[in-house]
Amino acid sequence: MVDPLPMAEVIKLRVKCHACSNLIEGSAKYGGGHYVPEGVNFEFVAIGKVETPKGRRVKAEITADCPNCGVRCKWTI
């Protein structure tokens, strides 16, 4: 019997550029070694999971280029 793949988690990115304060938005689906970005392309490195009252969420380091000024920014979400 084949084990079913775990459910993919949706990651929503909504951050401001460090240089020009432009709002950068994007999303991705992550799960089972599978990562599919949608919207603004960003690099994603999972560093753990965080338990919150609303449930579990992924803790990650995100790196993205600002579409407004081109500065490469990094955040921990």
Which residue type occupies 50? Answer: V
Question: Within a domain: residue 30?
Answer: yes
Range of the domain at 34: 9-76
Question: Within a domain: residue 2?
Answer: no
Higher-scoring residue by pLDDT: 76, 12:
76
Q: Are strands 23-31 and 9-16 parallel, antiparallel or unpaired?
A: antiparallel
Question: Within a domain: residue 29?
Answer: yes
Structurally, the chain folds into a number of domains equal to 1
Higher-scoring residue by pLDDT: 68, 77:
68
Question: Within a domain: residue 21?
Answer: yes
Question: Within a domain: residue 1?
Answer: no
Question: Within a domain: residue 22?
Answer: yes
Question: Within a domain: residue 3?
Answer: no
pLDDT at 33: 66
pLDDT tens for residues 22-56? 998 888 776 666 667 677 888 888 888 888 898 88
The mean of the pLDDT values for the chain is: 81
Question: Within a domain: residue 4?
Answer: no
pLDDT at 1: 44
Average pLDDT over residues 15-23: 94
